Chain A
Amino acid sequence: MDALMQFIYSGLTVGAVYALVALGFTIIYNASDVVNFAQGEFVMLGGMITVFAFDAGLPLPLAALTAIVATAAIGVALNKFAIEPARGAPVVSLIIITIGASILIRGASQVIFDKQLHRLPAFSGDDPIHLLGATLLPQSLWVICGAFAIFIGLWLFFTRTLLGKAVLATANNRLAAQLVGINTGFVMTLSFALSAAIGALAGVLVTPITLVSYDVGVGLALKGFAAAMLGGMGNPKGALVGGLLLGLFEALTAGYISSQYKEAVAFVVILAVLFVMPQGLFGEKKTERV
């Protein structure tokens, strides 16, 4: 029972990160119908820039803020210089563009930073908390609570603010949104900035636990992508549930079956979900019009 609790904690921690990556996918996908394979690089950048800013003498909160703002700017640049010029291109081209962007960012980080693993100090120390018969690192609480805070904040943004509603309207019907005077170009920019910032924040939160290096993005992008698919592409609630479920699956598999195959099981689960319900857990069923 204690072991199970332990696995659940670690599953929720890593799942919260997947959920944030999946949320980043979702925001961009809703605004532009693009699946951004460079999403994992945002997480990497968040961690990397914080580490280097912190090492350069900036206080941690300021270093984290720098990282988030810089990553958001990179997200905006990605949209401006790679996605917007290719508007209307087939899915395969868009997949290649965003994979290209992810390789580009990774390559640049390798040159600008280095190839080493880096760590950040935990925000509230390393003394484990005893809870329900198992232990939990304070940093895990930061990750889980941070993820929930972001989800709640976004939910408020989308439902309570005019700007948030404009983003939703654009996701729903781009042309109609333009017709009622929404600047959809700005909505795109905002979505990329938001998505990159969320990714960076996830990177800041998780780096004290998992460490960071220039190449952690690919794995995270794949997991986040998988989580988004599991929940149903384009649905923020799906991103949250998909991410947490995926994290739990992984932790339980690692704990009870085989740590080598924990990632394999995640993909097996996703394949199974796609076969049984191709729209994911919360995706809408679409009828093709002819």
Chain B
Amino acid sequence: MTILEVKGLGISFGGLRAVNDVSFSVKPGEIVSVIGPNGAGKTTLFNMISGVYLPSDGEAKLDGEDVTAQAPHLLAAKGLTRTFQNLQIFQEMTVLENVVAGFHLSERPSIWADLFSLPSARRRSAEVRDKAFAFLEKVRLTNAAEEEAGNLSYGALKRLEIARALAVGPRVLLLDEPAAGCNAVETEEIDDLIATLAQSGIAILLVEHDMKMVMRISNHIVVLDHGEKIAEGTPEAVSKNPDVIAAYLGTEEEEPAHALG
């Protein structure tokens, strides 16, 4: 029943071991969070799973198929997509076009039909527009549909990025700090959205700094420190794990007792 399985994934930059031997798995409908102090290797891990970086060792399996180091656009075609910690928005396109771009794969563009605006191309475009509107509604951005995306507020762009990722029709969705820089209300909205997505059967892998949010919505938590997995388990188990507490308080390994005291 596992949809995404990560086994022994590791990567080095120059001589620096950024991530080492990380394994975990995600089931459909499950929300798995990756947490850890700054520089623990969370985003690097995401970049490896989503094909942005080439891992030095280990493998990633999507629905049983080895997809290690596959190009991101091929992974998208297989149902794995992501959002970014520092927004990656098509700034000069409208909000609606951003989401429409997410339907790229289902739209299957044909250059000839597009050049001559053949009826088939126009029909598909119209269909996709309607579907994109539905996603904009989900993230409450319908009012801004025709605005240039670059003009939106940070929180709105975060939601837009999620809407665009949803348009891809993912089975696995990687969210890199979806609530970063959002106020409490916006965070709660994103919170609810993620829960709904999981309920619809999408496997969610989440990196997030907002611990309250992580504890509330995660089914399973993976803790990284210095590129290594130091713990994993349910939110309760992880929050009581002494290694995790030590990592977060930033103490040396020699004196964990002191930290706990």
B-binding residues in A (CB < 8 A): 287, 290
Judge whether A290 and B88 touch: CB under 8 Å: yes
> Chain B interface secondary structure, helix, strand, loop or mixed?
loop
Query: 9 smallest A-B Cβ distances: which pairs?
Result: A290-B84, A290-B52, A290-B47, A290-B88, A287-B13, A290-B86, A290-B85, A287-B53, A290-B43
Complex: how many Å from CA A290 to CA B83?
A: 10
Contact flags B53-91 to A (C-beta < 8 A → 1, else 0): 100000000000000000000000000000011101000
**Chain B, residue nearest A287 (CB):** B13
**Cβ distance A32 to chain B, nearest Cβ, rounded Å:** 24
A-binding residues in B (CB < 8 A): 13, 43, 47, 52-53, 84-86, 88
Chain A residues near B47 (CB-CB < 8 A)? 290
| Interchain residue pairs with CB less than 8 A apart (9) | A287-B13, A287-B53, A290-B43, A290-B47, A290-B52, A290-B84, A290-B85, A290-B86, A290-B88
Complex: how many Å from CA A120 to CA B88?
A: 57
Chain B residues near A290 (CB-CB < 8 A)? 43, 47, 52, 84-86, 88
**Cβ distance B157 to chain A, nearest Cβ, rounded Å:** 15
Chain A residues near B84 (CB-CB < 8 A)? 290
**Cβ distance B13 to chain A, nearest Cβ, rounded Å:** 7
**Chain A, residue nearest B46 (CB):** A290
**Chain A, residue nearest B52 (CB):** A290
Complex: how many Å from CA A290 to CA B45?
A: 12
Chain A residues near B86 (CB-CB < 8 A)? 290
Chain A residues near B43 (CB-CB < 8 A)? 290
Chain A residues near B13 (CB-CB < 8 A)? 287
**Cβ distance B14 to chain A, nearest Cβ, rounded Å:** 10
**Cβ distance A132 to chain B, nearest Cβ, rounded Å:** 43
Chain A residues near B53 (CB-CB < 8 A)? 287
Complex: how many Å from CA A287 to CA B85?
A: 17
Chain A residues near B52 (CB-CB < 8 A)? 290
**Cβ distance B71 to chain A, nearest Cβ, rounded Å:** 14
**Cβ distance B155 to chain A, nearest Cβ, rounded Å:** 20
Chain B residues near A287 (CB-CB < 8 A)? 13, 53
